[in-house]
Structure 1
């Protein structure tokens, strides 16, 4: 088949290639010879399937490298289709040479190529489905053959809603977003390259846990303990020290490997570090093992500090205790008690019942507090915790302090401690400065100031200086331990997709809604730009200010796929904007908000949306205040109220949440010891709230109806229900409400966690789900399930609707596939055929663009590709269980 008869389906972007062992210099020379004087030369590679990998060869037949196993698994079926399907790897020669020149060791010999795929036009859907089944998504090629038409089966196009965007508008939107995405891609590539070059983890010894630890440490946790002991004692192997011996002008001294600062005496390299293992690898258990292992050493240190001469009367009191700062105190207390019982004197310093007694805190073994509690007391200049010189301070979910200008960072940095630790699975989220802020908290020599980090790391990276990688490798190997789940032997999971057909009444309502939305979207095609550059619709109103756009249109159709005829018919006159806005927020939080933040009106701190109650704060006052889960939990514990129906800010408490927040007055009275009490809310308020809720449900749902999804879900849940534990995920609380109705009709006991469930209440629910044999089902919103919970009790997961961002689903699933998970997990996804849901399965590339058109938000740029080792996907005919 000639090129003229083929189309280009797209490219798989930046795929890793492990170079075959050879002289790096010889390889660079050969590539440069192929390029000649053309600085923009694109090198092409032939792909050949081998026994265990796909081989890349140069045009002269010489072997270049091979692809990773996951990519091999995806491409071999394409390569075996014969000459009709062509798979070709390409890369800019100058970029290849630059990457290869930095590889000084064989394990660093890794480059990236783009993979273009060509074939007949009538095979586009088949190829698209094969790749999407492997969680791979095609993009517009950077370099493709001339005179070949590009037609991407994964490209975002909604045939149901006609003509919503012109091609030039798509190009304009993509171009506007290309710069920040390119910068983020550069950062991802750098971080991945750095992590591949690390070596310290493989050279650590296994350290067994203290006998008081009731849980045996796994091998990787033993090596984490070894690393932490090295960092605290300063007994670090020479190759991982940042200060190396040298001779300068005939004098022996030490020089910093990065800043080149000189010192006559050897600076100490101890005092803690960053444990940055991937989520779910047991960082808290490794830290507990460290506390037990060094308990006696801490007591000796504190006694020595007390007897030191010339100690100022205003000096902070030394304690052998470890202060642990967490988002939720209750969860960590449960974890610690599970692994060591009551052998440690643990104090929960949180809530109105906390004891502000220095003697009690000083004599404890562990003090657990929250970021909010610490920040509130610090702002009020009444922080007891800042009056102690701790043996150790540990920040759990340490990325919370990644912005040095925030109160959280300043509050934590002002604590005194012999050792400081940061626990986080995401040391770098959006920028290099994230980890620089952690180094600043650690008071790492030469990087105590973030300005120093920016000078030697961030700024050179922005300027494209390749030296940044080597510097980061030195910092990581010295101050961080970063490993992924690839080193673990987890049971994996099996996936099946239930493709369902709507019944006649559901299809009628779906098509009617589709026609209504079609008519609206067609009116937007004729919009034009005014001379000021604003986008104008035919009636002169700003498109950007439109109250209803593409995202909301698809939202209506997606909700219909879940609710069927239980959902009241869509009507312009009867639209409930509050319901729509709530659904939009939940969808955006669940699908785009992995790293997005909002400002809490209580503590005035940027906090992650995911897993918090930002999605909906349904206070009686119906106000616009948004409070994070931590602030709600603080208010709940301070007031003794379990149900925060009234907005604390609207009620004007008499206590200042932070130095920047509103004064809280009227309904609270402050006692002499600083505790806060709230007047009881009359019972009629409770009754009114319940009545409002029931009325709202009647307004939203029909009393009777039928949902194909709900019916099939119940069939699946009831199968082997006594021998299984199931988690049901949806991004919408309204869908969970409908599932509750069906579970109660089937007399199935269930538990529920969503954004309205305080963090302190979630772990007890998980514990009950794990231990109560009578409860087989747990309902969760998708975002909540991807935040701070361990769900290993489940062996079945049901995903009610597809998400634009598949990484959100993957994170929720990953909660059940964690350490000590002994069972294979079965994952069931539901997709309604011939609807917007079927389109969503293969449309991932421009998902953020679609949301931008109709709903303005700052989205997470998480990549769509994810590793899916040990996963089998089965397509199940929907109407045949």
Structure 2
């Protein structure tokens, strides 16, 4: 049957501009924020008229107009950010071409120029976007106070922009006619001598100046509405203080917090002006400019303070003197006071976007300190203090370890410990061979059952590479008081580097706890995505880096999270100061990468495929109608699981028809009706209200497939360790608990949750679940690592998925998507024949299901393609062999990659064609996977194609992604109470109704 014509759509690269986690100036205080390279025409954008200023810019306490500022104070200052400014738009604002977005779910920021027409009566201020066209006007309240200033000839000017905002499904494209109100980030600049008069004028118009998100380079912030800074708060007072902003009665939603944080990221300092540093002689690759600047930044962050009186390189503390001359140190964010010089932090966050060469930069740092600093550290003797914290009296700046019982330290080591996902170890080995002079760096892979256990032998290496799973399994082994050594905890490492550091973002996991127990002098978190879903992700990195008082979860919540939720106007610049003091982030615009073209390919089902899909779509619709029709405000956990099953079936059919369905799924085609498909009454049956281990793990697997595997309380991801990483030591580990109504709770939250439920039950054995209102027995099924592995293997065997060893009778042939893939691969194969002596065109095929990759393998075999495969079940040796073969063998044109395994740390620049076989619940997975191809080292244009079936559930996946993010974040702080959870349940019900209308 001929394949139906495909519709190809170019994805718009609507990206946010200037998202820098970077630090241009390595020191600074909260009132000296700068941003470099602001375009020069900003200073002419005020478009002032020639009329005299229609207000008196004079001020004194008696309001009699006596000028108190001399003409000598003509230097320009920033007066602050005008609070509440808005643009009343009649067109959608257009970002600057090439603007970069922090994620596909948000529009880029848009720079706005404010314009007053000469001779225009009234107070109208026009807003002009990057197209130089008027898109709206400033709101009336702001315009009444601002227009006289813009009309003056006193050098008053503005900078303004519409900050990043969330995309919505029905958003019109930039430039289209559309009426909306957009918040305006509006800063006011002018001579310092006019500040007090302008402050008085604005206050009379009920306009207020707040601390701006950014101030231009070299410009002083002089806010006439906040002349006197608040007095520092002592540490004791800070703990009990009730913030004044609570009295406002305002609470930010999680989505607003996320938008604010992203806006803050947009305005962080650029780093073009950082000094450069040449690498050590061991590095044989010439570093690019941004890498030499990065090396300077990282080495600067590891410098020891020269004297006790010098503030350390994090710039979070300010030396102050009391009236009696006593010296103290005040934290610029919390107001806490310390009598002694605060302990120095060595390290930080390397947050360059993927593809900028973070691996080479990290290796350059490691070899740069081998001869001096690392050797000196190894000569010192570690001491365990009385409170169990690792200290070293010879190293005054060393930070304390978490308040956990520590393994006694055997020795200091010159060694850097590098912790990475298993899938990236092969890449680290390749990078060492490629960039470092042979024999000049000794390294050891600490992984596998036969790994070295002697800490003194490990300490002889310059670099030890291990996996997150190995660290967690060693911690798990020790926590169970099993015999044996624990060398990772027994060594006081010179440096710890976390590759893909966002893997520790869930602080309730053993992985996070295990990493935080390790001792070292210096610490680096390397990740292109420091904040993935929640601001709390950053808190985990603060804890690893020992940035006090934010290294404790309570401290981060008190001084960062709570002010955000309670609308403290000062929290954004404070967070920016915190991030800016330890973080370097550069964008891909720093390097010349070949262009990338993203295409969305919409395919039509064949007639047979459409019949199958419609059967299951109707069955799913019937299920939803039965379930949601009998629920007013919430869903029971079991009902929700039934719905997730229906959604998963539709996604599997879109991917490869009925070939991906299990035997139970196929029963739907044998005449099951909506009445027998789900029995709601059985939910309350006494015998069925207690889950078996098998049922619990089956339900967990379904939640994992549909990205619903999050803790009910803290909304953190719940999951078992990767057995290939953990060397089998995690057997029997409990990674979560499931209630009778299918809610899951992580081990960290479980004790409190259980206690709360027992208090709520008051001795009863059955209760109405406070979340979903289902009447259940109080019981919890532990989710265990070993049982999960056994169940997963059993499911794989029972799948009606043809393997190469199985009869082809069960295989219905390649699906529409696979046929489209083969067509594209054959075009590349034919083009490759004309390329010699150039290397052939190679392709990466991503899928979220290994079973789907199995089916694609069959089609590739039939069409004569040579390929390799990479998925999470493969050992390190097998993965390395697959990567080497794909890179070096010119006859191997395709690599099949599980998207969960391919999103972390792989270098796939030998390919330039990318195919994503199905949309994912988490769009970040797709973005990370594609960035493994479009990165530093890529020499060709990159083309990505995403296959989506027309008129199917896949077209609703983006809607579902957005809704699930909002739902998951409703209880991000894990606060107790039924109101938030009940609202989340109601929201879930609304979402499901909308998806199946």
- TM-score above 0.5, yes or no: yes
Counterpart in the other structure of 1:292: 367
Task: Pick the aligned partner of 1:186 from 223, 238, 256.
Answer: 256
Q: Which residue of 2 aligns with 1:255?
A: 330
For residues 620 and 602 of structure 2, the distance between their equivalents in structure 1, rounded to whole angstroms, comes to: 29
How far has the Cα of 1:524 moved from its partner?
5.2
- The yes-or-no answer on 1:767 pairing with 2:767 is no
Q: Which of 268, 284, 298 is the equivalent residue of 1:228?
A: 298
Structure-to-structure mapping, 1:352-751, within 5 angstroms: 352-381=449-478, 382-502=485-605, 506-511=606-611, 513-514=613-614, 517-518=617-618, 521=621, 525=625, 544=640, 546=642, 551-552=647-648, 554-555=650-651, 557-559=653-655, 571-572=667-668, 592=707, 627-629=720-722, 631-635=723-727, 649=732, 702-705=810-813, 707-721=815-829, 722=832, 723-751=840-868
Shift of 1:816: 0.6
What is the SS of the residue equivalent to 2:449? coil
Q: Is the 8 A contact 1:635 1:648 kept in 2?
A: no
* Corresponding residue for residue 301 of structure 1: 376
User: Aligned residue for 2:127?
Assistant: 64
Equivalent position SS for 1:201: coil
> What is residue 425 of structure 2 aligned with on the other side?
330
Q: Tell me the residue number matched to 2:776.
A: none
8 Å contact from structure 1 (residues 567, 701) kept in 2: no
Structure 1 residues 693 and 548, CA gap change in structure 2 (3 angstroms): closer
Measure, in 2, the Cα distance between the counterparts of 1:406 and 1:394.
Answer: 19
CA contact (8 A) 1:399 1:427 kept: yes
Q: 1:460 to 1:343 in 2, by over 3 A?
A: same
In the alignment, is residue 798 of structure 1 matched against residue 915 of structure 2? yes
Q: Deviations over 1:196-234 (max 9, x none)?
A: 332263332111211211222222222221111111114
**1: CA distance, partners of 2:844 / 2:418:** 31
**Between Structure 1 and Structure 2, how many residues are aligned?**
701
Distance 1:242 1:116 in 2: 35
- 1:322 CA displacement: 1.2
Structure 1 residue matching 2:958: 3-state secondary structure = coil
**Distance in 2 of aligned mates of 1:113 and 1:398:** 25
Q: For residues 779-837 of structure 1, give each alpha carbon's deviation from its aligned partner in whole angstroms, at most 9, with x where no partner exists.
A: 1233433233221111112233455665543332222101111110122344455x327
Q: 2:648, 2:805 → 1: CA distance?
A: 21
**Which residue in the other structure is 1:111 paired with?**
162
- Counterparts of 2:705 and 2:176, CA distance in 1: 20
Aligned to 1:653: none
The unaligned stretches of length 5 or more in structure 1 are 1-11, 31-38, 80-85, 99-104, 118-123, 145-180, 600-604, 615-626, 639-646, 651-657, 666-680, 862-881
Cα contact 1:43–1:93 (8 A) shared by 2: no
8 Å contact kept, 1:57–1:63: yes
- Corresponding position: 1:753 with 2:870: yes
- 1:486 and 1:108, CA in 2 relative to 1: closer, same or farther beyond 3 A? farther
- Alignment of 1:836 with 2:952, yes or no, is yes
Alignment of 1:835-854 (within 5 A): 835-836=951-952, 839-840=955-956, 844-847=958-961
- Structure 1 counterpart of 2:944: 827
1:246 matches 2:320: yes
1:409-443 Cα deviation digits (max 9, x unpaired): 33333333221222222222333333233223322
Per the normalisation by structure 1, the TM-score is: 0.65
| d(CA) in 2 for partners of 1:424, 1:584 | 32
In the aligned structure 2, how far is the partner of 1:467 from the partner of 1:314?
43
SS at match of 1:572: helix
Aligned residues of 2:616 and 2:650 also touching (Cα < 8 A): no
**Deviation for aligned residue 1:741:** 1.5
TM-score scaled by length of structure 2: 0.58
Which of 265, 271, 276 is matched with 2:346 structurally? 271
Deviation at 1:501, TM superposition (A): 4.7
Q: Alpha carbons of 1:559 and 1:303: their partners in 2 closer, same or farther (altered >3 Å)?
A: closer
**How far apart are the structure 2 equivalents of 1:201 and 1:607?**
33
In structure 2, C-alpha distance between the alignment counterparts of 1:49 and 1:307, rounded to whole Å: 58
Question: Which whole-Å CA distance do the structure 2 matches of 1:592 and 1:436 have between them?
Answer: 23
Secondary structure, in 3 states, of the residue corresponding to 2:668?
coil
Confirm or deny that 1:812 pairs with 2:929. Answer: yes
In the alignment, which residue of structure 1 is the partner of 2:274? Answer: 204
Distance 1:217 1:831, change over 3 A: same
User: What is the alpha-carbon distance in structure 1 between the residues aligned to residue 361 and residue 408 of structure 2?
Assistant: 35
1 CA distance for matches of 2:947 and 2:856?
14
Gaps of 5+ in 2: 1-12, 19-37, 55-82, 98-109, 117-122, 147-155, 184-250, 384-391, 396-406, 479-484, 678-695, 734-746, 751-781, 833-839, 973-997
- The SS at the match of 2:372 is helix
Question: Residue 101 of structure 1 aligns with which residue?
Answer: none
